[in-house]
Amino acid sequence: MSAPGTAPGTAPGTAALMTAAGADSALLLPYQRRLFLDKSPMRLVDWSRRIGKDWTLAWESVAERAGGENDRNLLHTAHREGSAREFIAYVNEFAHQLDLVAADAIGEEIIGADNTRVMSVAIPIPGRAKPARIISLSGNPDAVRGFQGDVILNEFAFRKDPAAAFKAATPLLLWGGRLTIPSTHKGSKNLWAQFVAMARRLEEGAPLPTDLKFSHHRVTLLDAVNDGLVERINAMTGQDLTREQFIADCRSKCRTESDWLEEFCCTAGADEESYFPFDALRQVVHHDDPRPCANLSAFMIDVARRCKALRPDALFAGCDIGRVSDLFVLRARAKVGGVLRVVGALAFTGRTFGEMEASITTLMRAEFQVADRAQAVRVRRLCIDASGLGMQLAERMTERFRGRVEGVTFTAAVKEDLATGARRNIEEKTVTLEDDALTLGHWNAIRRTLTAAGNARYDGESDTGHADIFWADALCIHAAETRVSRARPLTLKGGASF
């Protein structure tokens, strides 16, 4: 995030750099402050690259001890020596800015048969004769054994043996220590992905009996930018980057879509089991299609502008219902010359059912002007998730917009129809997708598996959620391909919800 000794938004060498130690410091952006305030015994730091992960953890390590809040030693381990050295350099500079240590107070020693380099800084603790040591080293999970204090297992997904490192660290919790596990993603079949899935289930209020209780801090590049990251970088460097330029620069350095998702979007990348490989998805990306937004007015403007420009034959929509941790997604598509173009994408979480209902109602009641055509167009048909949380909302919408809304209850057979129909359209290039990492990631998350009875299952269960954007889009495509009775809305019933 910044060079050692330089906090975002401040000039290098400022004597007051760390005087406001703690979460109230103006140096901390909101996502950094949230981590600082979390004193849970086990934390997952699921952060994008280039948003100051090591800077924040080093700042926290020094600030807690300098303020007398934490008198425990701390051990930071990374899978590369360069990462271990960068962390301890931050620690040393922060402590020096607080006049706690000399300019170069890093002690070094070589231990073990593998010549592990151990680097440390001693931090004076108010009211204590003995300082706390902040230690940083690379590899060697056995170094954790016999240690007492807090532990940071950095770059967890990239370790040779993450299970051994975690096993060695967990007994420290019995003596009041804190375990912090930061990492970016490296596919979906590893211990880090399992831990993230556990944390998500806990956040959703549905943990398994065997799940570990992690606190989860997920911050994508976009989240950090929305919290003011680019403005901090500009203040520190004198640059005049826009948020869009910064994001584009980060993305340009990613060789593949999977790299972008894992490094900057806190999302496990593609693997061979995806029902919708990224290569196939990229072939239908249309750069003029709008990306998802969380604002209803912006969504309606997107639909109106594209209807006017594209002069569609008809409009269709799909809606997947989520509230707490899953997304509420409303997708609108226009049929233009046999191709279903994205004209609007609304996605949000944590809002009331009233807001969800208002979003659907606003779209269904709207009429959109079309260039060189006297008659306006409106949504001809909307398919809505009628499973679980969506049941009551689907009933209300089918009652309010008779003949134009279909409630769909997800069964294995229904999900197969939706997934195979969506794939057929991708293969035939009769749909487009917006150039958006989250959207493509949700499509790519769909997996086809076989049950013991030999039946196909299509699910998007992963550490990114339930592929809500995909299911809303599949419902939208379904709405465009089938007809509903004018007498009453068609509801597909049966089966457990996903």
pLDDT band at 445 (very low <50, low <70, confident <90, very high): confident
Count Cβ atoms below 10 Å from residue 4 Cβ, excluding itself. 18
The contacts of residue 202 (CB under 8 Å, 6+ apart) are: 211, 213, 214, 216
161-170, 274-283, 450-459: least confident range:
450-459
3-7, 127-131, 321-325: least confident range:
3-7
Is 276's pLDDT higher than 60?
yes
Is 123's pLDDT higher than 80?
yes
Q: What mean pLDDT do residues 485-495 have?
A: 36
pLDDT band at 291 (very low <50, low <70, confident <90, very high): very high
How much is the pLDDT for 175? 84
How much is the pLDDT for 24? 52
How much is the pLDDT for 144? 77
Residue scoring higher pLDDT (57 or 148): 57
Q: Using alpha carbons, select from 289, 283, 274, 257 the residue that is nearest to residue 429.
A: 283
Four-point Cα dihedral 76, 82, 86, 91, nearest 10: 40
How much is the pLDDT for 11? 28
pLDDT band at 492 (very low <50, low <70, confident <90, very high): very low
Query: What's the pLDDT tens digit per position in 79-107?
Result: 888 899 999 999 999 999 999 987 778 88
Report how far residue 431's alpha carbon sits from residue 132's, in angstroms, rounded to the nearest whole number. 60
How much is the pLDDT for 399? 96
How much is the pLDDT for 113? 62
Residue 274: what residue type?
S
How much is the pLDDT for 27? 84
Residue scoring higher pLDDT (229 or 482): 229
Where in the chain is CATH 3.40.50.300?
A: 30-237
| Most confident listed range (26-30, 38-42, 190-194) | 38-42
Q: Which residues pair with 314 in a beta bridge?
A: 335
How much is the pLDDT for 437? 81
Four-point Cα dihedral 24, 30, 36, 37, nearest 10: 80
How much is the pLDDT for 60? 96
Report how far residue 343's alpha carbon sits from residue 105's, in angstroms, rounded to the nearest whole number. 58
How much is the pLDDT for 270? 60
Q: Out of 1.20.1740.10, 3.40.50.300, 3.10.20.740, 1.25.40.10, which CATH number does the structure's domain 30-237 have?
A: 3.40.50.300
How much is the pLDDT for 10? 30
How much is the pLDDT for 18? 41
Count Cβ atoms below 10 Å from residue 159 Cβ, excluding itself. 23
Q: What's the whole-number average pLDDT of the chain?
A: 86
How much is the pLDDT for 489? 35
Report how far residue 23's alpha carbon sits from residue 187's, in angstroms, rounded to the nearest whole number. 33
Q: What mean pLDDT do residues 412-431 have?
A: 95
Q: Which residues pair with 465 in a beta bridge?
A: 462
119-123, 268-272, 397-401: least confident range:
268-272
How much is the pLDDT for 483? 57
Is 110's pLDDT higher than 80?
no
Q: What mean pLDDT do residues 27-53 have?
A: 96
How much is the pLDDT for 263? 94
Q: Which residues pair with 216 in a beta bridge?
A: 44
Is 493's pLDDT higher than 60?
no
**What does the H/E/C string look like for the chain?**
CCCCCCCCCCCCCCCCCCCCCCCCCCCCCHHHHHHHHCCCCEEEEEECCCCCHHHHHHHHHHHHHHCCCCCCCEEEEECCHHHHHHHHHHHHHHHHHCCCCCCCCCEEEEECCCCEEEEEEEECCCCCCCCEEEEEEECCHHHHCCCCCEEEECCHHHCCCHHHHHHHHHHHHHHCCCEEEECCCCCCCCHHHHHHHHHHHHHCCCCCCCCCCCEEEEECHHHHHHCCHHHHHHHHHCCCCCHHHHHHHHHHCCCCHHHHHHHHCCCCCCCCCECCCHHHHHCCECCCCCCCECCHHHHHHHHHHHHHHHCCCEEEEEEECCCCCCCEEEEEEEEECCEEEEEEEEEECCCCHHHHHHHHHHHHHCCEEECCEEEEECEEEEEEECCCCHHHHHHHHHHHCCCCEEEECCCHHHHHHHHHHHHHHHHHCCECECCCHHHHHHHHCCEEEECCCCCEEEECCECCECCHHHHHHHHHHHHHHCCCCCCCCCCECCCCCC
Q: Using alpha carbons, select from 69, 116, 77, 124 the residue that is nearest to residue 98.
A: 124
Q: What mean pLDDT do residues 427-455 have?
A: 86
Is 400's pLDDT higher than 60?
yes
Query: What's the pLDDT tens digit per position in 219-254?
Result: 999 999 999 999 999 999 999 999 999 999 999 998
The contacts of residue 94 (CB under 8 Å, 6+ apart) are: 5, 17, 18, 58, 59, 62, 63
The answer to whether residues 221 and 250 touch, using CB atoms and an 8 Å cutoff, is yes
Q: Give per-residue burial for 400-422: e unless 16+ CB within 10 Å, then b.
A: ebeebbbbbbbbbebbebbbebb
pLDDT band at 46 (very low <50, low <70, confident <90, very high): very high
How much is the pLDDT for 141? 67
Q: Which residues pair with 180 in a beta bridge?
A: 43, 152
Query: What's the pLDDT tens digit per position in 361-375?
Result: 999 999 999 988 888
Q: Does domain 272-481 have CATH number 3.40.140.10?
A: no
pLDDT band at 20 (very low <50, low <70, confident <90, very high): very low
Where in the chain is CATH 3.30.420.240?
A: 272-481
Any idea what the Cα angle at residue 292 is, between residues 290 and 295, rounded to 5°? 110
pTM over 0.75: no
Q: How far is CA 294 from CA 274, 329, 492, in A?
A: 27, 9, 29
How much is the pLDDT for 80? 85
Is 15's pLDDT higher than 60?
no
Q: Using alpha carbons, select from 365, 320, 349 the residue that is nearest to residue 498.
A: 320
Report how far residue 29's alpha carbon sits from residue 230's, in angstroms, rounded to the nearest whole number. 11
| CB-facing half-sphere around the CA of 180: CA atoms within 13 A | 26
Q: What mean pLDDT do residues 106-131 have?
A: 85
Report how far residue 351's alpha carbon sits from residue 247's, in angstroms, rounded to the nearest whole number. 27
Count Cβ atoms below 10 Å from residue 163 Cβ, excluding itself. 11
The contacts of residue 231 (CB under 8 Å, 6+ apart) are: none
Backbone angles phi, psi at 92, to 5 degrees: -65, -45
Q: Which residues pair with 339 in a beta bridge?
A: 336
